[in-house]
Amino acid sequence: MNVTQVLSQTEICQSCTIRNRAICADLHADEIVLLNSIGRHRTLTAGEQLLWEGEDAVLVGNVVEGLLKLSTGTSEGREQIVGLAYPGDFVGRPFGGTDPYGVEALAETRMCVFRRQDFDAFAREHPRLEHKLLERTLTELDRTRRWMLLLGRMDAEQKLATFLLDMVERLSGAPGLNPELTGGNTVPAFALPIGRQQIADVLGLTIETVSRHFTRLKKDGILDLPSRREVAILDRAALQDRAG
């Protein structure tokens, strides 16, 4: 990558919508330039695979826009979704030999990607990035524990309510979450980045069950559904109660 390209990448980074939440958030300007010199931007289409479970860990990356699913295969040959990656999340296995899960785009997704070996070498030389990686690891451990509870112990309504609350939190400040004023209150209204069938797959439910509970939450005045892909949370406290 030449100097002009590096400067262009740096300008993109400085205006990045997830800059303060990305893995590079604590780096100085000169470190950003160096990191940009080993990275590149990549856009994934919905359904495109980035990483394969059990394959050599060759890439890591930060999600800028879009949504990824993290999945693993069971002994019966079924897919189990173990998590979602939102804007600001980091995917891949730094310092690892193989990828522990597959990573696939659920919607068009824009990323900053790095060759794992280049990223590992950079991280070893820049303690601020290593510290951020440790923070992310601990955060992901907490999310994994919550995900296990979501899939294993909650009923269908609790799963959907928890999923929507988590999505609002994770998408807050990212493209696609557009607060609207309704009745004098700020209501988080946003476009779902995935459809109801994909939500059902993520939660281990049928699309009929997901649609039924969306309708029930709307009837109870907790949600507004301007369209099948738009949601406005009208009563956040009530949704939290439904989440248990």
- Tell whether 65 and 173 lie within a shared domain: no
Q: Other C-beta atoms within 10 Å of 138: how many?
A: 10
State how far the Cα of 135 lies from the Cα of 116, in Å rounded to an integer: 19
pLDDT of 2 higher than 50: no
Q: What is the pTM of this model?
A: 0.76
pLDDT tens digit sequence for 180-228: 433 334 455 778 888 898 889 888 889 999 999 999 999 999 999 988 8
Shared domain for 121 and 202, answered yes or no, is no
Any idea what the Cα angle at residue 53 is, between residues 50 and 54, rounded to 5°? 125
Q: Which residues contact 49 (CB under 8 A, 6 or more apart)?
A: 102, 103, 104, 105
Percent of the chain with pLDDT over 90: 34
Give 168's pLDDT tier (boundaries 50, 70, 90). Answer: confident
In this predicted structure, what is the pLDDT of residue 25?
A: 77
- Tens digit of each residue's pLDDT (9 = 90 or more) over 102-135: 999 988 999 999 999 999 999 899 888 888 888 8
111 lies in the same domain as 176: no
CATH number at residue 216: 1.10.10.10
The total number of structural domains in the chain stands at 2
Residues 101 and 162 in one domain: no
Q: Does 114 lie in the same domain as 61?
A: yes
Range of the domain at 232: 154-243
Task: Specify the range with the lowest mean pLDDT, choosing from 3-12, 21-30, 85-94.
Answer: 3-12
